[in-house]
Amino acid sequence: MKLARRRLLQTLGATAATGLALGSDRAQLQAQEPASDGPYFLIVLGGTGGANIVDSLLAIRQSECTNPASVYCFPDQVVSDIAGTDFRAIDVGFGSLGAIPMSFQANQSAFVTKHGADLMAVTHTGTSVNHAVAQRRAVTGNEAWLGRTLQEVVAATYGESFALPNVHLNAEFGFAERGLDETLPAYAFGETVANPILWPLALDPRKGVVGAPSADDLQLARALRNDVLDPNSQFGKVFAQAERLKQWRHQRGAPQAGVEAQNLIDKLLLIEDQALLAQYGLEQADDIAAVRQAFPDLESDPLDAQAALAFLLLKNQVSCTVTLGPSFQATVDDASSVDIRNPPIAFDFSHQDHPSTQAFMWQRLFRIADGLATLLKDVPFGAGSMWDRTMIYFATEFGRTRTKPGLNATSFGSGHELNNGSVIMSPLVQGGRARGGVDLATGFTYGFDRQTGDPVPGTTMTEADIYAGILGALKVDTAGSGLPDVPCMRKS
């Protein structure tokens, strides 16, 4: 659905009254030259509902499975080996998505062939089959380092000079939860974006508002509020020494001024109606044509909108880590016909029909990752591009059960299963490699040697192993953390 003109007008009119709350304690937020060893960028792409690794890079053929009538595996003809990698890909078509009458084609081989040199599969076994709990543990390593999330660690390490180092573009899932370590600098904690298209309009109190007060008048009003009205209110007197109120007052000072000075509205706006924007003195973001080519459904598909803003946040070095992913809400492009963009409960629709849901959702994530990587490769950074310093972590809660009701079964449901694996996409990892393997008798994954990466049947990797390996690849100093060293996950 296109963004309604009336809705945009209402939002523009309300912008002057919008307060900007930023989780930062910096006095200066202007972009600075990055340190020679940083920054590095992390994209957490959530596989909401249980992205099953053996439905993608670690698929099993029927001919090699020891019990193909009851263990989940694929007809040989739909599984492709990807040259130069340890990976496989599934290319298969479906006439329906579970009970939803819509046909689609999943073509994983195109994505894996294009990006195989930057892909790595890592096996692991989780500790919860509760969606919210498992999502949180996927980004904290099961509270492996004082309960810090991956995003918070990356933001604390590289984000001091960024306006909004850690942005969550889908706040309804556990991948965006705040960690437990309150000693981290305030700028490391995530900022939530409820609507990627409209959110940039709230980043300046005057721009885009017809008849807005002058900058001097606005400054006088803010001074009256901050120095007279708030401190003399009953609320201000009672809670004057509260830490949260102190932080809020600070955020409305220098940090807010720093964000406004960067003109983030014009850098991040995804709205397409140029004539309408011109009425309010606004402009589209740079590279909007390329962004819309990569994510053409950004006005009808929330995941495309998240990805489009995620790219602009990284490209403009507003953020060094962004979190996005499909929600549990169904997305239908056209109410007059069945055109599902996101099935109900995302990957968890596998309860209704596992094969079609997994194929549809993996295709969905791969399309988003391809768009982000392709765009970032065109952004110069030092001697290379931003992609050279970026990682996409396909985070997910758990795997799915590995049984099926017969050799030729093509439609059946699955349950939650602790055993799984994750996909990591980055030039910073040992690309083209699978760490761990799959037991051909059971369909379950097994672990690997942390030093060499060699598969070790009969073992499993923990959430903390993957957490530590990701931070190592991003060159984060984890000395004193107690985390394991996982050199096989990072490029030498």
Residue 60 burial by CB count (10 A; 0-12/13-18/19+): exposed, middle or buried?
Answer: buried
Model pLDDT, residue 34? 39
Work out whether strand 416-417 and strand 119-125 pair parallel, antiparallel, or are unpaired.
Answer: unpaired
Q: Where are the domains of the chain?
A: 31-196+298-489
pLDDT at position 262: 87
Q: Are 43 and 365 in contact (CB under 8 A)?
A: no
Residues of the chain with pLDDT under 70: 1-36, 334-338
Q: Specify whether the CB–CB gap between 448 and 436 falls below 8 A.
A: yes
User: Of 353, 379, 378, 347, which Cα lies nearest the Cα of 365?
Assistant: 347
Q: Can you give the pLDDT at residue 338?
A: 64
What pLDDT is attached to residue 472?
97
Tell me how far apart the alpha carbons of residues 333 and 339 are, in angstroms, rounded to a whole number.
Answer: 6
Q: C-alpha angle with apex 360: 358 to 364, nearest 5 degrees?
A: 110
Determine the pLDDT at residue 335. Answer: 52
Residues 6+ apart with CB under 8 A from 336: none
The architecture in CATH of the region 31-196+298-489 reads 3-Layer(aba) Sandwich (3.40)
- How many whole angstroms separate alpha carbon 149 and alpha carbon 8? 35
Tell me the HSE value of 342 on the side-chain side, using a 13 A CA sphere: 21
pLDDT at 334: 67
Answer yes or no: are the C-beta atoms of 66 and 441 closer than 8 Å.
yes
Provide the whole-model pTM.
0.91
Which region, left, alpha or beta, applies to residue 371 given φ > 0 means left and ψ of -120 to 50 means alpha? alpha
Give how far Cα 89 sits from Cα of 52, 118, 147, 225, 443, Å.
13, 15, 35, 59, 16
Q: Express each pLDDT in 21-59 by its tens digit.
A: 343 333 222 233 334 578 999 999 999 999 999 999 999
Q: What angle do CA 81, 428, 91 make, to 5 degrees?
A: 25
Q: What is the pLDDT of residue 268?
A: 94
pLDDT score, position 337: 56
